Amino acid sequence: MKAHRALLALAISTGLLSLAACGPANRTGDGTTGGGTENESADAFVARANETLKKMTPEFSSAAWLGATYINDDSQRVEAAANERWLTQLNAFIEQAKRYDGNGLSPETARSLLLIKTGASMPAPRDPARLNELSNLASELGGMYGAGKWCPPGKSGDDCMDIGEISEVLAATESSSYDEMRAAWEGWHTISIPMREKYQRFVELTNEGAREMGFANTGEVWRAGYDMPAEDFQAEADRLWGQVQPLYEQLQCYTRGKLEEKYGERGSVDGMIPAHLTGNLWQQDWSNLWPLLQPYEGVGSLDITGALQRQRDGILNELAARAGGFMRLTPAQQVELERKADIEMATRMTRLAESFYTGLGMPQLPESFWEKSMLVQPRDRDVVCHASAWPMDTVGEDVRIKMCIKPNEEELTTIYHELGHIYYYLAYHGQTPLFQNGAHDGFHEAIGDTIVLSMTPEYLASIGLVDKPAVSQEAVINSQMRMALSKVAFLPFGLMIDRWRWGVFDGSISPDRYNAAWWELKAKYQGVAPVEARGEDFFDAGAKYHVPGNTPYTRYFLSHVLQFQFYKALCDAAGHQGPLYTCNFADNAEAGRRYWAMMQRGASQPWQQTLKELTGGEQMDASAVLEYFAPLQEWLVQQNQGRTCGWAAAEAPAAAAPADAVDADAADADADAAPADAAPADDEADA
């Protein structure tokens, strides 16, 4: 999933400091652990909590940054210690917040107390030994993912493949063979096998912490953070899914039909799409199937990846010319020029995204952003390449992104998404630290994706990435299909991950059915399946970052609804006339003013009120999704005539032995890292 926010200590607290939760436990005098008394007023307590967060954010953010960008024993130790201090402090905050019953409090204080009590995505036990164990498990699980590599049979060491290399095999849907994609997909899913027992213990410990907070389990804590009763939230998500499900089912049917045309009977599994054939490790984004699914070949000339790669090659050729030509360069010098070209191209892509936001009247990114962000993958160490955005302090002076940017369309849109987080941080940094977050977590993910919706063919042509688009129905369908392969394909995936975790947390999914339940839910919601049974020796959920990274995922589903609501509201503000999908509000001052005003609210009021200020309504609604994709949905229905659409979400098949286990050296290295991303993301974005 693209786009995923950096959340200190592996998403310890989504309600505190949006992505960087900070502050230690209860030592009087220095703001690090306590300082309160039995008679401390609610106002004084909230003020102390805010001051603690403000003082400690840089330290803990830096620990998390090191854990993600310098994966080794030392960074894991530093981050784990920071995690433990924060968890201790968070427990102290929660315990004290429970003392106040809300009577006679100001709205600001009452809301601050609510956010403290519902903000822990990793509720920790009060017992110091168990808290220490949980903190170490969090770092270990994140590190196992970040350092994960698959070693193909007969390979070792430098020949082992990391997630980026494996993703490239899957993305090359035209040149990679069926068997190559299957081997790569199965290979990546070996990296999570060693996580299974650790994750089971992680669940036990967070559930213990949740019960001590007064909740039934960790999932209930997560659902309590949406300004509505926790028991109502799942029904709300189901309602939104019901609105968009028919559109997704038509897209799934069309895609499966094309895969069957290409691969014959290997192109589907009982009406479901084979898991390794969507061009994506988790089947959450089908954009890499564009060559196969393109409705009208060549119409619109939307080869964004080709344009970016040509720009990068042009940079390299220019650098080589300055050095006297490639023939005069040693292999080592050529490698250095390649590196410089990659850095320059990544910077250009990021500057391009920045220009959209500044065109709306938002400020330029601070110079420290360009000095401290990680835009390309380092060559000398392991890092978590999963894209993320980071607020390193509470005053808006140090914001960063962490990506391993490559010149392709998906990476470009991910940058636009991640800068949405960055500009949200900059917009609400004037709020108190407890209010420095999205109105709810789905808002944070939707900000940048709303901008992505405005990256219409006309916009892309205006910045020179595609030809001036032809005005035709075929061009419209092509454009909508490209968008649907990202946006619509993602919707059920955005829902099912937390459906699985909610079941794990409440015990309805027992440890001996972790994998079976995972594939049952993927079948039910996505209509995808593995080509062979995946037994309980596997832990396929752990092959998605947000599971070992403990990042709640429903936010990404909600964001895929909200972004269309935001987009429609901004298009109305810009005075757009015509079909919704044609709206490009780039450089529109009024749209920018209204968007910035909403973003400045942060978490200072219930999300329903913030939503109403921008859209006029207090309810999340997927009708804008359907309005946007109306031409494509009609076209898909026509294309699917005569096909048998739908699928049977059967029980998970019988167990099978795991694929070749991850290389032992790589498995050992897994425990050395401590990433601090929350999604995409991603994939992403995230999600």
Taking CA atoms, 51 is separated from 23, 141, 394, in Å, by 9, 31, 10
- CA neighbor of 649 nearest in space, from 518, 532, 545: 518
Q: Which residues are catalytic?
A: 418, 546
Taking CA atoms, 549 is separated from 137, 219, 233, 421, in Å, by 10, 15, 23, 19
38 marked among binding-site residues: no
Cα torsion angle, 667, 669, 674, 676, sign = negative
Considering only CA atoms, give the Rg of the chain: 24
| Cα 200 to Cα 344: distance, rounded to the nearest angstrom | 44
**Token output for 132:** 């220490």
List, in order, residues 6 or more apart from 526 with CB less than 8 Å away.
252, 273, 283, 492, 493, 496
95 marked among binding-site residues: no
Query: Contact 13/1 with Cβ under 8 angstroms?
Result: no
Beta-carbon count within 10 A of 338 CB: 14
| Cα 285 to Cα 243: distance, rounded to the nearest angstrom | 20
Task: Say whether 273 sits in a helix, a strand or coil.
Answer: strand
Taking CA atoms, 89 is separated from 84, 93, 110, 292, 494, in Å, by 9, 6, 20, 53, 31
Query: Contact 71/8 with Cβ under 8 angstroms?
Result: no
Residue 105 Ramachandran class (φ > 0 left, ψ -120 to 50 alpha, else beta) = beta
Q: How many residues does the chain have?
A: 687
Angle of helix 73-97 versus helix 42-69 axis, rounded to 10: 160
Q: What are phi and psi of 402, to 5 degrees?
A: -125, 115
Task: Say whether 424 sits in a helix, a strand or coil.
Answer: helix
Task: Say whether 185 sits in a helix, a strand or coil.
Answer: helix
445 marked among binding-site residues: yes
b/e code 414-430 from CB counts within 10 Å (16+ = b): bbbbbbbbbbbbbbbbe
**Token output for 249:** 């089912």
- CA neighbor of 247 nearest in space, from 450, 559, 489: 489
Query: Which residues are 682's β-sheet partners?
Result: 2
Q: What angle do CA 207, 58, 115 make, to 5 degrees?
A: 40
Residue for token pair 């063919």: 457
555 marked among binding-site residues: yes
| Cα 11 to Cα 396: distance, rounded to the nearest angstrom | 20
421 marked among binding-site residues: yes
For residue 682, the surrounding DSSP H or E stretch is strand 677-682
- Binding site, annotated residues for Zn(2+): 417, 421, 445
- Binding site, annotated residues: 226, 417, 421, 445, 555
- Binding site, annotated residues for chloride: 226, 555
